Structure 1
Amino acid sequence: MSAVTSTRIVLASRPHGEPSEDNFRTETVELPDLADGQVLLRTVYLSLDPYMRNRMNAGESYADPVEVGDVMVGGTVSQVVDSRAPGLPAGTYVLGYTGWQSHAVADGTAVRVLDPDRAPLATALGVLGMPGFTAYAGLLKIGQPKAGETVVVAAASGPVGSAVGQIAKIHGARAVGIAGGPDKCAYVRDQLGFDAAIDHRAPDFADRLKAAVPDGIDVYFENVGGPVTAAVLPLLNLHARIPVCGMVSQYNVASDPEGPDRLPGFMSLVLVKSLTVRGFIQSEFVREVYGDFERDASQWLAEGRLKHREDVVDGLENAPSAFFGMLHGKNFGKLVVRVGSEQD
């Protein structure tokens, strides 16, 4: 076939603090011919997730940083346009990790076939994908909620937090969500079925949270950090568990905060209350429980016990601005960019 070009967004420079449009650059490149085992992909949906902010930095982390000049990373749902890989004919929908670009060449072993009749395609980037699995693995392997216990989760209207609370309820626990604004709190409480939802923007947030957990907190699923965590810590019960998934409030911080060092106080709390604090990356649990997640989440979704919401932005060119908004909680649900139509 004739040469195919791809529009892609690359990291132009590393941000210091808040990222900006200047940190990205849009390019058009000609893709190479396919080699044996490769597929040509047309991006349909691009996932935008908070972890991408850390990948823009050069410091040590759980994954290599995006190099300046490279395509921004990201999970994608794509359609095969051309193929030299067995079992992946043109027209097949796949889940991959081809990043912020309209087309890509990928190894056939690096993608997973999706069935659009089983579930809407975008759910592979959300409730049935990495965010859903993050919630499932972090809550059940680290949080280990028991029936009757209280689970509190920050960013409760987002793709991870919303799944955490619903899975906690399925396992018989009480779920309290923390979200930003009355609309998100109403969604968490009334549509997702959490027992309570607390607005972290309320001036009396700490008092409202305390009133919502009269028996204390047994599991705190950490997505945010900052003042939200400060309000949670005094309410933790003996032997409480804290799966640390993200710290989105800290991702744009360019220097150490002013004020006293609170680490000694936190470590004293860990000791006195025998807390379990465990950071994790979802990939470390894939071999152990991904099959269980696929089975359970698909069943719960089909039964209406696991609900989800998507915030869809049209056009690859709008990915940077949508990304900036996500870092400030402006999205409502799983944020995806619709790069192309589902049918070519």
Structure 2
Amino acid sequence: MIYLFIFAFILDQLLGELNYKYNPIILLGKYINKIEFFFNGNYLKIKGILSIFFVILPFLLIIIYIYIIFKYNFFYFNIFGFILYLSIAWRSLIEHGLNIEMSIIEGNINMSKAALSMIVSRTVNNLNINQIYIATIESIFENGNDAIFAPLFFLFTGPLGVIFYRIINTLDAMWGYKNNRYIYFGWSVAKLDDLLNFIPAILTGVIYACCSFKYKYFKQSFLCSFKKFLKWKSKNAGYVMSAGAGSINIILGGISIYNNKYQYRPQLGINKIPNINDITKTCSLINYSMFFIILSFYFLNNI
């Protein structure tokens, strides 16, 4: 397990996010679209469940084949180390956050909105500067769980667990919307993603608290996460973002725009409205949290 983690970590830092043309996750997305095209129709909840099965099935067969052919030799660990690298996005998440920050510093708000649109599902065109700060920080905290810490948690279940989580999380990102197209078809995958993320989200919130910048924020992070996340429509995301907000002493939530409609989200965190410096603090907290995970893996491997 430690070998898979180190190999994936090195690849992530060296390569970052793969080019769109060569990224297997993009190919997965195209395959998912074909499955949806075939199944989306009548009896949507049942077909949504069947769609999950048919998305996962070929990858399950490939994993079984790799295990039979290579078992636990050099190629086996390198193949699954590469799969773990594809499942985490530490470097690219930080790069996205800092790109948004740099665009704001340079006074190019339109460029910052374009960069923000790559990591959020909300409508960015009419966001003011404070809403850009909030959207950026919320997305980094939430994706810290979805794209970094949750896949690493599932590494304890083996490579198949990591692949299963990444597929379900990708399906949720594509089908987990409560609109006319997906409210029934994507229902099952949204529930499954919530279930899979429940424990990782709690652990991510604890990690954010442990890596907070000052001792008083450690307690504050726990208080924020447990007091305020229940009001959020996605409990896992609300818990993670509330813990992160408490860790850097800021307030998240408020009015935002989804599908060109204004939505009011409950307040998360405490004390002050974010500013440009808080994007840097958020990225730093993700980095500190990752170093915390690295040390934890090393410790667990040596006990």
TM over 0.5: no
Structure having the larger proportion of residues in helix = 2
TM-score, normalised relative to structure 2: 0.28
Structure having the larger proportion of residues in strand = 1
